[in-house]
Amino acid sequence: MPDRPNVLILFTDQQRADTIRALGNPHMQTPTLDALAAEGTSFTGAYCASPVCIASRCSMILSQWAHQTGCTTNCPMPQERTSFMEIFQDAGWQTHGVGKMHFAPDSRKLWGFESRDYSEEGGFRADDDYCRYVHEAGFDHVFECMGVRSEYYYIPQPSQLPARLHNTTWVADRSIEFLQRRDRDRPFLLWSSFIKPHPPFESPAPWHRLYKPTDMPLPHLPADFEALQTFWNRRQNRYKYRDQGWDDNFVRTMRAAYAACVSFVDYNAGRILEYLRATGEIDNTIILWISDHGELLGDFGSFGKRSILDAAARVPLIVRWPERFAAGERCERVCSNVDVAPTLLRACGLETIDQHEGLDLADLAAGADPGRPGVLCQYSQRESGLYGLVTDDFKYMWSAADDQEWLFRRWPGEAEERSLAGNQAYVKTTGEMRAALVEWLRGDGYEEVLDGEGWRVYPPDERPCIDPNPDHGLLYQEGTDWAPLFPEGYAPISTPQGPGRVVPPRKD
C-alpha cells in the first residue's frame, strides 16, 4: 500500500442517492459516476447526519452526530473542534478547497485548507472569486450567477451563462489548475465542491435540453402520502412556493432540470478524473463521491430537504481506491457521512481522534460489526426537532412538532410507502427502535427532548405552526439590492436584501 496516497473529494449539494444510472436509475446519464461505481465500492445505505447543508457538512468534517455538534440547522458550527482537513494538513498533505463549503458563521474560515478558491451560493458578491470571474469575463449584467432564487427558486430555468463560465465548470477548472500547480513533494487533499444540483435547477446550453420532461418519471406518491409528511415538509412547501397547486407537467419539467444539473456535474467531475488518469495518479488517489443531503423533488408531495425520508436523507457515497475498496462492489449496510473522516484518515495511515464517532467504511464493507445500533439523522431540536434512527432493516422517525412517530421497513432500492407505527404487528419493533434512539441520545447527555423513557411532548402552543395566510413565510433569498439597477422612476415594490451583499453601481 502506498504510504501517502492523495485524496480527492467530489462533493455535490442536494444530490439524491437514486440519481446514478449504474446503481439503478435508467433515466439518468452519469458515465463518470457509473465508472466510479464500476471501479470502486458503492455504499447504497449511506445517510447524512442532518438533512440540511451546514449541519450535514459540520457532522462530516468533525465526524460527530448533529446532537453532539449542536449544529442541527443552517446555523453556526462549533469553532473549537478539529476538522479532518486540519489533521491532514498537520500530517503534511497539501490541502485545497474549491467551491461552496458553507462554513458558518465565518464562510472564509479555512478549517485546515491551506488555500481555497472561494465561491458560495446566492447573489453577487464582490469578494467572491467566482462572481468576480463572471463579471471580469464580460457578464457584468449577471447578478444571480448560480440561478435566480426567491420566488423562482424551484422554477426550472436555463443558465444566464455559457457552459464555459458556469459555476460547475469553474469548480472543475480550478480543481484541475490546483492539480497542475500543486507541490509534488507532498500528497494532496483536494475537496471539489459543486453547488449543483442544489436549486435553482439551471444548466447552460445545451445541457438544459439533455432531458425531456415527458421522459421523466412522476414523483413517488404512495397512497395516503400526506400521512408521511412532517411539519417541516409542510413548512418547506410553503416557503418554496410549492403549496398552492400541483401540475404534473411542471413537476416533470423540474425533475428534468434537476437531472440535467446532475449530469453536468458528472461531466465536469469526469474532467478532473481524466486529468488524474492522464498523469498516472488516479490509482494512488482515494476518490470519494458524496453529497450533503438529497432533494424530495415532489416525492410525498414535498420539495426541498429537511426530512428523514430517503429522498432527502439518503446520499450517494462511492469510494474508489484499489488498495482497500473492491471494484464493482455494493455495500447495502447502513452508514453515514460521519464515517467519511475515519475512512479517509485510516486509508492514509493517520490516526483518528477521540472526537470522532464514525467508523471505517472499508471495515464495514468487509463485514465488520459496526458496534452501533444504526445511524442517526436529525434536523433542528427541541419543539421543532426531527429525529431518526436508521438500521439495516428499519427506519424510525420522531417529529416533536407533530408529536408523532413513523416506522418503515427498509428494502434495498425501494422508497417508503406506509408507516408501520401503530400497526399491531410492529408494536414491538417500534418500541425497540424508539428505545434505542432514546438510549443513544441519553447516553450522550442529550436529554432536552426526552421525558423519562420516551419523548418530551410539547404543548401545542409551544410547537411551531404554519400561518393559514398562504403568503406567510414565503422565501426571499435574492442577495442583491435591485433598486440601484433600475432607471429613475422605476423600483421594485419590495427589495429584500441579504446581509453583506454588494452590487456594483448601475451603468447608464
What kind and span of H or E run contains 501? none
345 domain residue, yes or no: yes
DSSP structural state of residue 18: T
CA–CA distance, 65 with 49 (Å, rounded to integer): 6
265 domain residue, yes or no: yes
Query: Identity (one letter) of the amino acid at 310?
Result: D
Task: Please state whether beta strands 285-291 and 6-13 pair in parallel, antiparallel, or not at all (unpaired).
Answer: parallel
Confidence of residue 396 (pLDDT cuts 50, 70, 90): very high
302 domain residue, yes or no: yes
Q: Residues 280, 182: contact at Cβ < 8 Å?
A: no
Q: What is the pLDDT of residues 253-305, one digit of tens each?
A: 999 999 999 999 999 999 999 999 999 999 999 999 999 999 999 999 999 99
Position of cell 449496510? Answer: 333
By residue range, what is the domain housing residue 161?
Answer: 6-237+246-369
pLDDT at position 27, please?
A: 97
pLDDT at position 498, please?
A: 44
Name 38's bridge partners.
none
In the structure grid, which three cell numbers stand for residue 400, read together?
416533536
* Residue spans of alpha helices (H) in 182-247: 231-239
Query: Identity (one letter) of the amino acid at 229?
Result: Q
Q: What is the mean pLDDT of the chain?
A: 95
Displacement of CA 95 from its chain's centroid (Å): 21
Q: Which of 134, 114, 138 is nearest to 126 (CA)?
A: 134
CA–CA distance, 58 with 386 (Å, rounded to integer): 18
Confidence of residue 485 (pLDDT cuts 50, 70, 90): confident
Region class of 50: left (phi > 0), else alpha (psi between -120 and 50), else beta: beta
Q: Say what the pTM is.
A: 0.95
Q: What is the pLDDT of residues 2-14, one digit of tens each?
A: 479 999 999 999 9
Q: Using the predicted structure, report yes or no on whether residue 504 has a pLDDT greater than 60.
A: no
- Going along 375-428, which residue ranges are E strands? 375-379, 386-390, 394-399, 404-409
CA–CA distance, 29 with 17 (Å, rounded to integer): 14
422 domain residue, yes or no: no
CB atoms within 10 A of CB 442: 12
Displacement of CA 99 from its chain's centroid (Å): 14
Which domain CATH number covers 152? 3.40.720.10
Q: Residues 62, 81: contact at Cβ < 8 Å?
A: yes
Those residues with Cβ within 8 angstroms of residue 281's Cβ, 6 or more apart along the chain or in another chain: 6
Displacement of CA 501 from its chain's centroid (Å): 24
Q: What is the pLDDT of residues 399-449, one digit of tens each?
A: 999 999 999 999 988 999 999 999 999 999 999 999 999 999 999 999 999
CA–CA distance, 409 with 416 (Å, rounded to integer): 8
How many domains are there within the chain?
A: 1
* 3-state DSSP helix/strand/coil % of the chain, to nearest 5: 35, 15, 50
Whether cis (ω within 30° of 0) applies to the bond prior to 105 is yes
Average pLDDT, integer, range 235-239: 96
Q: Using the predicted structure, report yes or no on whether residue 503 has a pLDDT greater than 60.
A: no
- Going along 173-320, which residue ranges are E strands? 188-197, 202-203, 285-291, 317-320
388 domain residue, yes or no: no
pLDDT at position 500, please?
A: 40
414 domain residue, yes or no: no
Length of the chain: 508
Average pLDDT, integer, range 187-213: 98
pLDDT at position 494, please?
A: 65
pLDDT at position 89, please?
A: 98
Q: Using the predicted structure, report yes or no on whether residue 506 has a pLDDT greater than 80.
A: no
396 domain residue, yes or no: no
Q: Residues 387, 438: contact at Cβ < 8 Å?
A: no
Q: What is the pLDDT of residues 320-345, one digit of tens each?
A: 999 999 999 999 999 999 999 999 99
CA–CA distance, 58 with 352 (Å, rounded to integer): 17
* Residue spans of alpha helices (H) in 25-182: 31-39, 53-62, 66-69, 84-90, 129-136, 167-181
Q: Residues 407, 396: contact at Cβ < 8 Å?
A: yes
Nearest 5°: phi and psi at 485?
-90, -10
* Residue spans of alpha helices (H) in 84-159: 84-90, 129-136
Q: Using the predicted structure, report yes or no on whether residue 243 has a pLDDT greater than 80.
A: yes
Q: Which of 185, 175, 191, 190 is nearest to 4 (CA)?
A: 185
Position of cell 446519464? Answer: 29
CB atoms within 10 A of CB 289: 27
392 domain residue, yes or no: no
What kind and span of H or E run contains 329? strand 329-331
Average pLDDT, integer, range 478-495: 82
Q: What is the pLDDT of residues 137-195, one digit of tens each?
A: 999 999 999 999 999 999 999 999 999 999 999 999 999 999 999 999 999 999 999 99
What kind and span of H or E run contains 101? none
Displacement of CA 214 from its chain's centroid (Å): 27
Confidence of residue 502 (pLDDT cuts 50, 70, 90): very low
